[in-house]
């Protein structure tokens, strides 16, 4: 029985060492790609700063004013917004150029009886003193009342949302 065990051979120490080194290098490369892939994608993510300046409620129209800043090095597209139960989508998207500081987004709502609803909810949109062509497509409704705080959010073309609160 002892002679049978002597005839069995394993891999040599050199081959085993080479295999272990190859596996370690492959794992190190995989981890590096994963780590730098995560860091690279977060470094490329653009950031939008949104500050609600005010909501002015009138008898037939109401005005929402937001201040936008884009400190990143890439343009950000704003796809739409939500205010209370009203959701609107811009077509085409509003482009906020890189390095933008303090640009105003002004949204004028049609608010007969204080309510903005459906596709007639928004009458005009102005960004950085330029009237945008067309009006957003809107669903839902919001009743605007003086002295109430409203929650909203801007949505970008990349799917990120930027919340804001505004008081009337």
Take residue 81 and report the two structure tokens written for it. 């917004």
Class of domain 49-167: mainly beta
pTM of the model: 0.71
Residue of 112, 114, 58 whose CA lies nearest to 84: 114
State yes or no: cis peptide before 92, omega within 30 of 0: yes
Q: Is the pLDDT of residue 1 over 60?
A: no
**Tokens (6 digits) for 134:** 């067309």
Helical ranges in 45-98 per DSSP H: none
pLDDT band at 19 (very low <50, low <70, confident <90, very high): very high
pLDDT per position as a tens digit, 20-65? 999 999 999 888 888 877 655 554 556 889 999 999 988 899 999 9
């Amino acid at each position: 029985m002892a002679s049978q065990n002597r005839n069995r051979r394993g891999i040599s120490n050199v081959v085993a060492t080479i295999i272990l080194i190859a596996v370690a290098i492959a794992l190190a490369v995989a981890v590096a790609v994963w780590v730098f892939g995560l860091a690279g994608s977060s470094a490329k993510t653009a950031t939008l700063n949104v500050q609600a300046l005010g909501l002015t409620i009138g008898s037939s129209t109401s005005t929402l004013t937001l201040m936008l800043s884009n400190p990143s090095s890439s343009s950000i597209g704003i796809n739409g917004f939500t205010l209370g139960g009203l959701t609107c989508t811009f077509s085409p998207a509003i482009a906020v150029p890189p390095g933008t500081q303090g640009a105003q987004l002004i949204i004028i709502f049609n608010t007969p009886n204080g309510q903005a609803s459906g596709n007639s909810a928004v009458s005009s949109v102005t960004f950085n003193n330029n009237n945008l062509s067309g009006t957003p497509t809107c669903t839902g409704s919001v009743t605007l009342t003086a002295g109430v705080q409203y929650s909203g959010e801007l949505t970008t073309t990349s799917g990120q949302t930027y919340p804001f609160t505004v008081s009337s």
